[in-house]
Chain A
């Protein structure tokens, strides 16, 4: 391996944590989705690293699946964002508060 797996793991973990931080702290829905994308990219990196560690290709195959999946998610998320904007006029995730208790 050109880079020791531990380093790859650390970078992907950092990306994962940053993404999670964005999801938790940000209010705007689009930025939350971006945070999720960062987390997923971190996962992709970890997978590639693991596949290199074990010298097997199925890790990378899963990364390709992952990308396709992320694309589908983004499509649906943006559709949700548009619907939310039309209904509530704001993108703040907490603006929806009718269902509770």
Chain B
């Protein structure tokens, strides 16, 4: 770990350092806004460093790369964390979250995601993944007052720990079959001729299971609805936008090196993607709880992203990265609106709570409607361009049947996305049940949601700029 290597890892260190600094400050300084300001400054600094200061050495310690691909994702995750910090100021204060811990944990999660995206070796991936997963265990149950939070935390923890064990064993087996953790070479273990090929394949199987759990693909997705429902809205947003995105960005690197091995994996990926799309859509149909519906919708969307990965060529990866950026924006936006709507006595989760919201909260409701249409993949939102890219990738890879399953899923998914829009705009005039009337939402929250709204619409109408930037990464 020469000085040069440390220097090229500087942006991540800035994030991690800031996290520790805030943790310490938190003991004395209980004023949340200033800590949030510090956190956002840290993120901004990390982002600026990543973009402006060229790294000296491309790979750090054989585990993390500092190439443009990693830097792009660092900027993205820094932005996600900064956004979460800003949009949850009122939410955290209302629930008397410990300011120091709240900001530091979020920053550390950002650092972990950046590391995961930058991983070029199985160890790097393992460390990055575990870094922010541990933080998420705490963040999900952060709201001590809510039983649901504890239950969600518990479920995520137990399942997460088991998945980590499976992941570790997978890494061990791949290491055993290939002799190295470094990714492109580690894949050699699976190649046709090598004697320890069975070990490699089993190792790959276990990796896929762990990845499946992390990005909530169907057989391993059961935790998703409960955790989204229990976790505080900002954390659920981070979970949807950040954790799944970071995992997939690592998977893109993982699969890029596999080349020939893809032939073995395609049936599995095909099955996982198809199942996720279909069963996710079916499960979401009957949901009355908005957060559970968004959870199942994330299962479906991960199925779409996986469909993009089936195309080994660069276009497929471009489509996946674009999809991840879009999905981050739309998830943050949707959960941002939920955060803005949640008042003192809790978050508005039941559909009934949203009845007639379209007329009482014009901006936030309109934003939520656009996010729903974006998730449904209807132009002119970014969702359409994302789906277009993924469908093109699937057809180019010759998986027309999967594309048809995707079409069926996105058609049926329209129903439950529209259920929310209908509740907001088209239900009878009556005011919502006394339960939790929607909170007005502060200007800061409205601004954050506005940023996401602008992003989603811009991706829909003029995705050219982002597509070019992503093209230059791969």
A residues with CB within 8 A of B: 5, 9, 12, 16, 19-20, 23, 29, 32-33, 36, 39-40, 42-43, 46-47, 49-51, 53-54, 56, 58-59, 61-62, 65-66, 69, 72-73, 76-77, 80, 83-84, 87, 93, 96, 98-101
Docked pose: A76 CA to B160 CA in angstroms: 12
Expressed in whole angstroms, the minimum distance between the Cβ of A36 and any Cβ of chain B is 5
The interface on chain B, measured as residues whose beta carbon lies within 8 A of the other chain's beta carbons, has a size of: 42
Which one, A43, A54, A96, contacts B154 given CB within 8 A? Answer: A96
Question: In the complex, are the beta carbons of A46 and B173 less than 8 A apart?
Answer: yes
Docked pose: A69 CA to B134 CA in angstroms: 9
Docked pose: A43 CA to B123 CA in angstroms: 14
Q: Which chain A residues lie closer than 8 Å to B173 at the CB level? A: 46
Question: Could you give, for residues 237-268 of chain B, a 1 whenever the CB lies within 8 Å of some chain A CB and a 0 otherwise?
Answer: 00000000000000000000000000000000
Question: In the complex, are the beta carbons of B157 and A77 less than 8 A apart?
Answer: yes
Contact A50:B172 (CB < 8 A) given known A39-B165, A83-B150: yes
Q: Which chain B residues lie closer than 8 Å to A65 at the CB level? A: 123, 126-127
- Chain A CB within 8 A of B59 CB: no
Q: Which chain B residues lie closer than 8 Å to A12 at the CB level? A: 169, 172
Q: Which chain B residues lie closer than 8 Å to A23 at the CB level? A: 158, 162
Expressed in whole angstroms, the minimum distance between the Cβ of A76 and any Cβ of chain B is 5
Question: In the complex, are the beta carbons of A80 and B153 less than 8 A apart?
Answer: yes
Docked pose: A27 CA to B176 CA in angstroms: 34
Which one, B150, B153, B172, B229, contacts A43 given CB within 8 A? Answer: B172
Q: Which chain A residues lie closer than 8 Å to B161 at the CB level? A: 33, 36, 73, 77
Which one, B126, B152, B154, B169, contacts A84 given CB within 8 A? Answer: B154
Question: In the complex, are the beta carbons of A80 and B157 less than 8 A apart?
Answer: yes
Q: Which chain A residues lie closer than 8 Å to B199 at the CB level? A: 9
Most A Cβ at <10 Å: residue of B152, B154, B172: B172
Docked pose: A95 CA to B455 CA in angstroms: 42
Expressed in whole angstroms, the minimum distance between the Cβ of B289 and any Cβ of chain A is 8
Contact A47:B172 (CB < 8 A) given known A23-B162, A80-B141, A101-B292: yes
Docked pose: A69 CA to B169 CA in angstroms: 14
Contact A50:B123 (CB < 8 A) given known A77-B161, A93-B158, A96-B151: no
Expressed in whole angstroms, the minimum distance between the Cβ of A80 and any Cβ of chain B is 5
Residue ID in chain B nearest A16 by CB atoms: B169
Docked pose: A59 CA to B180 CA in angstroms: 8
Residue ID in chain A nearest B181 by CB atoms: A58
Expressed in whole angstroms, the minimum distance between the Cβ of A41 and any Cβ of chain B is 10
